[in-house]
Amino acid sequence: MFNVNYGYVTAGEAVLAIPAEDTVAGHRCFRVEFLVSSLPSFSWIYKVEDRYLTFIDMQTIAPWRFEQHVREGHYQRDYVAQFDQVKHVALTAKGSYEVPPYVHDILSAFYYVRTVDLSGMKVGDAMTMSNFYGEKDYELAVKFLGRQDLEVAAGTFHTVVVEPLVKEGGLFKSEGRIVVWLTDDERRMPIRVNAKVLIGSIDTELKSYTGLNGPVHARVK
């Protein structure tokens, strides 16, 4: 669970979880959920109830389905993309689109980055992949910024710092800068996300965690 801070105010909570395994188009998948909600003390100003889901192939770490359900103030958006990773096609309510092999949605891309060996990367190095959203696939680059020890409510951790350079995708947009801190171990657990956007800065920091498949060796205390 994460605290979502706007400036010095804790405005909401976020939960990133794999609550279950699922099957999509005959393929075994991890069901990944990312939920963001404003706290009651902040909802009277601006209520947020966002939900993102992706169904990631257990073997390829590529998605077979992505859902976005946004409820922010008076704004609502529902978006679903089905991916055929064999025929390289994405299906949405607006049509069918050719996509590159192993195309990602923004949430599955995040999980894929967590599987990559970053030990040989130097500051400024970047990896690229394809990210589909709306009616088009976009290049997604992830830049390696270095390493840092970071203290949050859940503890103190050795981390690797990366910056996703996203043009589109709903979760992270191109109007500002996104920096992500991940544990510097095999878990690559997200510790902090800082988003500098037009209206200021939003910080998401790890508050607690449970159910991991092994210890977090990067935890210092």
Reported as a single tens digit per residue, the pLDDT across 131-163 is: 999 899 988 899 999 999 999 999 999 999 999
Q: Each residue of 75-129: pLDDT tens digit?
A: 999 999 999 999 999 999 999 999 999 999 989 999 999 999 888 899 999 999 9
Q: Each residue of 170-191: pLDDT tens digit?
A: 444 445 578 999 999 999 999 9
How does 102-137 read in b/e, with b if 16+ C-beta sit within 10 Å? Answer: bbbbbbbbbbbbbeeebeebeeeeeeebebbbeeeb
Which residue in the block uniquely carries the two structure tokens 């980055």? Answer: 113
